[in-house]
Amino acid sequence: MGQSIWNSMEQKGYSRRDFLQFCAAAATAAGFGQTGVAQVVSAFEKKEKPAVVWMHFQECTCCSESFIRASHPIVLDALLDVLSLNYSETLMAASGFQAEKSLNDTIANNKGKYIVLVEGAVPTKDDGVYCMIGGKTAESILQTVAKDAAAVIAWGSCASNGCVQAAKPNPTGATPIYKLIDKPVINVPGCPPIADVMMAVVTHLLVLGQVPALDSQGRPKEFYGRRVHDTCYRRPNYDAGLFVEAFDDENARKGYCLYKMGCKGPVTYNACSVVKWNEGTSYPIQSGHGCIGCSEAGFWDNGPFYQHLPSFPGFGIESTADTVGTVVGIATVAGVAAHAVVTNIRKRKVIAEVHAEDQKES
């Protein structure tokens, strides 16, 4: 500890030019632009390398898998290298007591300075027995680790909003971490989140030493500020009313909008259509499949992937609000018609009565 990123790179034989290239790439990844490069250089020259612990709870490790596939290798290498990644169940060499010691030492030696990255939700039912590491529950580990952390980042939908294990009926009581700790949490949802977005969030934290601007759900605005739909290259087809009707039709071949195939792009906040995946190669909609909204809270419970409206609860999986509405509408027409019949019978009586009344009056 105590070393800056520049010191550490210098020791490893990187040239000043390499360092500046790395700074420029990091500035770009974090969205600072050209004017921000100087800030990054200054930060990386002076600031101590932050210690990082990466916690894994109820998850599938897809966030880690995504992270190590970031498309700017120089930034990634450097980040993994320059960050003191002191604890990560999947990436560290240490195991057993060694690993535990590493975690405890990091916390003890870097009070208030280390960064906590959390992957996975935390089970809260039955005293948290559904996820235990080294004999301790996930929740108690989280509380210990988060207590003196400088910043907490929730990687992926599990840590941000519960994801699959929090889907109904949520048997383990899986809970997103922002509900469990008092500190502000940076939520980086997605299943998994985009590698470059993860990297950029970390870079932002390192360079500016502060939490990036977050929206009301704790997500960095720069990546989750717009819907997949708004930045989608198929958007003109949406406005034109050109829709794919079936996955193998002519319209699908022409690349029309996937809205009617249940694309969740219009309700999903993410940077997929801008940053894209796998070194900017593609993203789901580009490869012909609708967005499933994996970065939105509760997306597993939001109905079938191939309907853009959820199923109506209690009416079978295929029934949307429209089916229910149509039935209610027809029932109303039937009720009104029955009433009209009764009214006509009644009207005859009214006519007769008015007639009799007039007779009496005259």
Partner 1 sequence: MSTPSTVAGNGFSDNAIHPVEYRRVYVWELPVRVYHWINAVALVVLCVTGYLIGAPLRAFYAAEAYQQYWFGWVRFLHFLAAFVYVFNFAARLYWGFVGNKYSHWNAFFPLKKSQQQEIVDVIKADVLETRMHGPISTGHNALAGLIYFGTFLVFVFQTITGFALYSSMSNSWLPRMFTWIVPLMGGEFAVRFWHHLFLWFFVTFVIVHVYLAFYHDYIEGRGTVSSIIGGWKFDREKSGKAGNRK
160 binds partner 1 (CB under 8 A): no
Only one residue has tokens 């060499």, namely: 93
Nearer residue to partner 1 within complex by CB, 56 or 308: 308
Q: Which of 82, 296, 300, 305 binds partner 1 (CB under 8 A)?
A: 296
355 binds partner 1 (CB under 8 A): yes
For residues 224 and 193, what is the distance between their CA atoms, to the nearest angstrom? 11
Nearer residue to partner 1 within complex by CB, 67 or 224: 224
Residue span binding partner 1 (CB under 8 A) among the ranges 29-37, 74-82, 168-176, 258-266? 258-266
Q: How far apart are CB 305 and partner 1 at their closest, in Å?
A: 12
Rg (CA), the chain: 29
241 binds partner 1 (CB under 8 A): yes
Nearer residue to partner 1 within complex by CB, 94 or 297: 297
Tokens of 127: 């005293």
- Beta-carbon contacts of residue 315 (< 8 Å; ≥ 6 apart): 323, 324
CB 163 within 8 A of CB 300: yes
Nearer residue to partner 1 within complex by CB, 111 or 339: 339
Nearer residue to partner 1 within complex by CB, 260 or 276: 260
One-letter amino acid for residue 273 of the chain: S
Q: How far apart are CB 246 and partner 1 at their closest, in Å?
A: 11
For residues 4 and 7, what is the distance between their CA atoms, to the nearest angstrom? 5
Subset of 198-237 contacting partner 1 (CB under 8 A): 216-217, 227, 230, 236-237
For residues 8 and 144, what is the distance between their CA atoms, to the nearest angstrom? 29
Nearer residue to partner 1 within complex by CB, 25 or 244: 244
Q: How far apart are CB 298 and partner 1 at their closest, in Å?
A: 6
One-letter amino acid for residue 10 of the chain: E
Of 193, 161, 153, 163, nearest in space to 283 by CA:
193
Q: Which of 69, 113, 260, 289 binds partner 1 (CB under 8 A)?
A: 260
Of 199, 112, 111, 196, nearest in space to 153 by CA:
199
Residue span binding partner 1 (CB under 8 A) among the ranges 85-93, 103-111, 191-199, 299-307? 299-307
Residue span binding partner 1 (CB under 8 A) among the ranges 48-56, 73-81, 122-130, 353-361? 353-361
309 binds partner 1 (CB under 8 A): yes
Q: How far apart are CB 216 and partner 1 at their closest, in Å?
A: 5
CB 217 within 8 A of CB 297: yes
Residue span binding partner 1 (CB under 8 A) among the ranges 99-107, 179-187, 200-208, 301-309? 301-309
Interface contacts to partner 1, rule CB under 8 A: 216-217, 227, 230, 236-243, 245, 254, 259-260, 264, 266-268, 293, 296-299, 302-303, 309-310, 312, 321-322, 324-326, 328-329, 332-333, 336, 339-340, 342-343, 346-347, 349-351, 353-355, 358-359, 361-362
